[in-house]
Amino acid sequence: MDLNNIIYQQLQELGLESRECIGLEEIRNKDGIYLYRVEYSGDSYVLKYFDNDKYTREIDNYSILKELEIPTIKVFGFTNRSLLLEDLNNSSEYRLGTASDLSDMEVARALAKWYSTLHDRGVKYIANNKDRFYREIDSITLENLELVRNRSNTADNRVWDLIINNLNCVLSKIKNMGEVLTYNDFYWTNLAVSKDKKEAVMFDYNFLGIGLRYNDIRNVCSSLSVEAGKAFVEEYGGINENEKIIDRGMSILVDLIFAYQRSEFPKWAQKSLEIVKNGQLERDFRRILELI
């Protein structure tokens, strides 16, 4: 069956049965995830269809957030392959995020409330469901460290032996710290803001997972302006300095692993590579060992 017929079949399962009444516009197609704007009986929706099995986890993630009463954009229905979501271009409550939101302190404070809710309500849930979630630091394996070591032409750098010799101890200690449900994929293109700017929610939950609170705080604040970042942290309630120390070293490793798993080294990982070469990663990892 061709993709077009599959999409109509999904819509039929979702209750949009009159094919001749459906207006369909492809919005995006990336990594086996398809987005369509759907017009039906005077209403507008967004259909998110997952051709890639791995990414169907987002369907369950929406259900989990609903169970935890964590705000999301509206979900009108789902199948085992798709989600029928509200169209933010035609929402009475929300609008799509914009680049200017990254320097808006009011939006930053609203965003901090959403992340605080996600973290606080996710704690109890993950206690009994840890195995079902994505965890960024699980990518830090001996095999992946050797991949980075060899492909980065830094094999002689002593930081690798320091990390490898202490890896299991460090990972075990991190997992025994105060882990929470984390979003992991912040950017303004995944942001919805209420029209009065009192609320902000993230959408696209494919990378919903487990981590430290500071993992998300760093991820958000690295995109916000300095002043908006300060407003976010203040509204959130501050940061845990030990988590910040741990994240500083471990996030560099995650960046480089993801970068070297690609066929071409991405520009966004260049700074992380320089941190290896100039000795900063070794200093950061020694600080982690002092905490552990």
State residue 257's pLDDT score.
Answer: 97
State residue 1's pLDDT score.
Answer: 65
State residue 128's pLDDT score.
Answer: 82
3-state secondary structure of 47: strand
- Quote the pTM value: 0.91
Q: Estimate to the nearest angstrom the gap between the alpha carbon of 159 and the chain centroid.
A: 28
Number of alpha carbons in the 13 Å side-chain half-sphere of residue 92: 1
**For residue 52, what is the DSSP state?**
S
Q: Which helix (H) or strand (E) holds 3?
A: helix 3-13
Query: pLDDT (tens digit, 0 to 9) for every residue of the chain, 292 residues total?
Result: 688 889 999 999 999 988 888 999 999 998 899 999 999 988 999 999 999 999 999 999 999 999 999 999 999 999 999 999 999 999 989 999 999 999 999 999 999 999 999 999 999 899 888 777 888 999 999 999 999 999 999 999 999 999 999 999 999 888 888 899 999 999 999 999 999 999 999 999 999 999 999 999 999 999 999 999 999 999 999 999 999 999 999 999 999 999 999 999 999 999 999 999 999 999 999 999 998 7
Closest by Cα among 61, 16, 55 to 37:
16
- Residue bearing tokens 């077009």: 4
Instruction: Tell me the domains of the chain and their CATH numbers.
Output: 3-92 (3.30.200.20), 96-291 (3.90.1200.10)
Strands 82-86 and 75-78: antiparallel
Give every CB contact of residue 62 below 8 A, 6+ residues apart in sequence.
72, 75, 78, 83, 205
Give every CB contact of residue 99 below 8 A, 6+ residues apart in sequence.
188
